[in-house]
Structure 1
Amino acid sequence: MSMEFNDTREQLQKHSVDISTLKREIQELGKHKERLGGNITGIEERLNITERQLREKKAQLEYLETETKGAFTETQKLLKLYKDGLSHLNSTTQDLEDKVETRLHATKTDFGAKLKEVQNNSEALSAELKEQKAEAVKFMEETGSKFRHVDEQLKIQNTSVGQQNSDIHSLKNKYAGITNRLGSVKKTVGELKPEVDQLNARVNAKVAFSATIIESKDVFTGPQTGISKILIFNKVFTNIGNAYNSKTGLFTAPRKGVYHFSFMTFGYSTYTSGAILVKNGNYQVSTWEFKGPDSSDTTSNTVILELNHKDTVNIILWKGGKINTGVFSGFLVFPTK
């Protein structure tokens, strides 16, 4: 913009010189007019137009000069701001350089101290490694001595192992004979297994019970359940296997087998006495005693029954019969397949 301003100023000066030149020419023309005495009105008009144009250009140049000066002033302000910013930047850069220099100096000092410490540690480690190396050499020497001793012991043991192998071979022969004998024994045991199982079943099949009726206020009738007249022998003497239920009067076979049952009743002769042994609700054996001149009657019976698992056996009264007390007993003779 400064260069453009100078160029404009030069053009303005040049136009001023041209105007002065034209004025001198006009004066000379006026003088020439006077000398010539001719009519130069047309030339004067042209000169006036040219003068007006020059004045307009001069005004434009003056406006341009004013604008240029304003722009130049703004440019100078901006340059000043740039210079101030650059100065501040230089100052900040210097501060940063000082701080970095200080930091680098501290880092160098710290690094030097740490390096010295590492060197000291390295020297201590080297001394320790030398000591450990000496111990390792000593250990290797002792280990070598021990290995030589072990090698001698192994040679002695190899001789002993040879003798042991011979003994083992002999034992193997004896074991083969024992194995053959054992196979024969196993065969015999297999043949005897059914008999052994049967004996185990007989030994483990322990079922036996015996119970009586406790007299109650219902004398001559005994404990019974409803219409079925099932006698409940409610005082239990023995109940091995828990097959008899003193609440219901029922014996339930815990396994298939042959069972022995017996029962006895005691009553007075004023009523029909006796009872019936029932298997799964079906009559099996019974006792009977009519009314008579004697004061009391005793009846009894015994039966052996083959029962399946869960079969039931119990005692009931005859229709219209009454008893005072009684005993009901039974046991497993032997189980069956």
Structure 2
Amino acid sequence: MNFFVFFFLVFPTWTSAMNDVEHLNVHEQIKTLQSMVNELKNLVHVQSQRNDHLERLLSDNRNEVKELKSQFLNELRNLKSNFSKLDVVDSNQNRFLAKLKRDGLNTNRFIHSLTNRQLRLEKMHALVTEDQKELRNLSDGNYSVELIEKKSENSLRHVDKIKKRLLSPQTTSGDAIAFYAFMSSILWSPWRGRILVYDVVKTNIGNGYRSHTGVFLVPKSGVYVFTWTFRTGSSHDHSIQLMKNKKDIGSVYFHTGVDGVEAGGTGIVVTHANAGDDVFTRTNPTLNIGTGHYIQSDAHGRSSFAGWKIF
């Protein structure tokens, strides 16, 4: 009886205490779980930010790779273009060197021919001089000696005339003198003060123009008209002078001003020239011409030099 009374009095109190303990444990677990959930949320947020940052870096790297690839392709195309230009320059230089060799051989032959002619004339002059001395020693009378000396002097004048004809430019009959010549190909990077050579001769009445030097040797004194034309391009500039002996008697300056565009300039001068004067064109020695500049001459436009005597 007493046991049952005790049981019924104590059991409810014990049960309530146990329920309170369990309730406290569950509350603590819930707090722990909430704390873990919050930490996981923070971790997910941080990881999301990291992922966004990595994606931005990846996108920037892709753009940079594309830009580097584009630059590489452009540089590769430029290199190919430069190699092609170098091949053209090398081919032109080889042709120019071959032409210089041919012109050198022709000049040597011409000089050798003149030297032989001069030697023959000197021998003739020596023979005539010896004959004159021998004739003067003759004692056939004053009249005969004077007559023979006059004939000898006439022979000497004749020899001098032949010598002048052999050593001076050969002209045609009359006073007609004219020439026209142009460059056969492009002239790369001409240095300052360079005499321009127009190697293709179309007209040379009076034989005053020299295709191997670019110089017109005036055959007869008079008033002449000279004109010169040059063509350049790719934003390059040139100044070409007309020279008479060492004097500048005309000058033309031209600048294209635009890359990839070619154009030309022309000068014309009327001047008096004496027989034996040298007339030629040259690049201006005071203008600094950059590397890669050129004077163009082809079927689309010739760089040329011409002149003629008007009276």
Q: What TM bracket, shorter-length normalisation?
A: 0.3 to 0.5
Q: Which has the larger radius of gyration?
A: 1
Bigger relative contact order (CA 8 A; separation at least 6): 2
TM-score (norm 2): 0.38
TM-score (norm 1): 0.36
More helix by share: 1
